[in-house]
Structure 1
Amino acid sequence: MKDNKSNPLQLSSLNHISLVCTSVEESINFYQNVLGFVPVRRPGSLNFDGAWLFGHGIGIHLLQSEDPEIIRKKTVINPKDNHISFQCESMTMVEKRLTEMGIDWVRQRVEEGGIYVDQLFFHDPDGFMIEICNCDNIPMVPLAEEMVRSCSRLNLVQQQPQQQIKLSVVQP
């Protein structure tokens, strides 16, 4: 079998993410009623509390924390933190709905070569960050192998200042 450098493990897709929760029921409510996920059957052989949900082509496995008091809930919305991102059709509608639901969010705009991407960031009940964006506005352009090795933000800014990504944060 020929070695495939671009896909050495021959992966086909992202299957699920797992999140440890202080309350599986509260998280089910959030992922179902805010993000539109649907609870699905979970194997009975799993002998710990949790739930499986599916939506938007991905599974979310919620795992009940064995010690909920030790989970440190993040309160500051930091777009540079770990997050999962979902594509949307209308950023205006997402802003309106999140505001109606009483969910705090931060808006950010990225500009690259005259193309704009809007992003909204907010937290789930345990402080895990969610991003909603129109990221498909920016085309995916594979980098040459040499560029991948030198692709730190510092190197890009020093080598090609005209291609810097401009960020601005607009808060509600």
Structure 2
Amino acid sequence: MKENTGNPLHLKSLNHISLLCRSVEESMSFYQNVLGFFPIRRPGSFDFDGAWLFGHGIGIHLLQSPEPEKLLKKTEINPKDNHISFQCESMEAVEKKLKEMEMEHVRAVVEEGGIQVDQLFFHDPDGFMIEICNCDSFPVVPLAGEMARSCSRLNLHQPPAPSTSDPHPLVNRFSLLSSSPL
């Protein structure tokens, strides 16, 4: 593949992720009640079962597997496995809530340059890994200047002020804490 720089496809943001499910209803309940997503209208022209949810700036498209018994089973929680990550305001509040819900989870800590990031990992009903973190503690330092400029959600000059009107306060928007080059 020919190497490109910048944003050759003129991408704006992540729109959604699609996940195959054993049970759309069970997965909907998880994404609504655990992660705070809400159901949205899905095109009626689809000829397969599924549901769309939205929250925290992205969509989750749940697709009913025609062969649910063939989907991979949940495995041990491995932070190095495929996952999607959400920012939160309070790791303590998240961990307390996970314990109240009796959700198995794994805690991890990443430390570099005097900065500590806490992470919690757990599975959705189909074994897809979810991470909740305070990863915005790490500065985002682009390896190439154009990469950062191509993202409209990054402010290269100063971090955005925290939102007080966020209807889902458990998850923050991604913020840039440093723009100094390596």
TM normalised by structure 1 equals: 0.81
Matched length: 142
Q: State the one-letter code of the partner of 1:97.
A: K
Distance 2:144 2:12 in 1: 22
More helix by share: 1
- 2:98 is aligned with what amino acid? L
Partner of 1:113: 113
In structure 1, C-alpha distance between the alignment counterparts of 2:74 and 2:81, rounded to whole Å: 10
Counterpart mapping for 1:2-13 below 5 A: 5-13=5-13
Aligned twin of 1:134: 134
Matched letter for residue 64 of structure 1: Q
Q: Which has the larger radius of gyration?
A: 1
Q: Which amino acid aligns with 2:100?
A: E
Deviation at 1:144, TM superposition (A): 4.9
Amino acid at match of 1:128: F
Of all paired residues, the percent bearing the same amino acid is: 77
More strand by share: 1
| Residues 3-62 of structure 1: per-residue CA shift (max 9 Å, x gap) | x72101000000000000000000000000000000000000011000000000000000
**Structure 2 counterpart SS, 1:81:** coil
Partner of residue 88, structure 1 = 88
Q: In the alignment, which residue of structure 2 is the partner of 1:155?
A: none
In structure 2, list runs of 5 or more residues that go unmatched. 146-182
TM-score when normalising by structure 2: 0.76
Distance 1:94 1:144 in 2: 34
Unpaired runs of 5+ residues, structure 1, are 146-172
CA distance, structure 1, for counterparts of residue 19 and residue 52 of structure 2: 10
CA distance in structure 2 between the aligned counterparts of 1:74 and 1:125, rounded to whole angstroms? 8
Partner of 1:50: 50
Residue deviations 1:110-160 (CA, integer Å, cap 9, x gap): 001000000000000000000000000000001259xxxxxxxxxxxxxxx
C-alpha distance in 2 between matches for 1:73 and 1:59: 24
Q: Match for 1:30: what amino acid?
A: F
Amino acid at match of 1:5: T
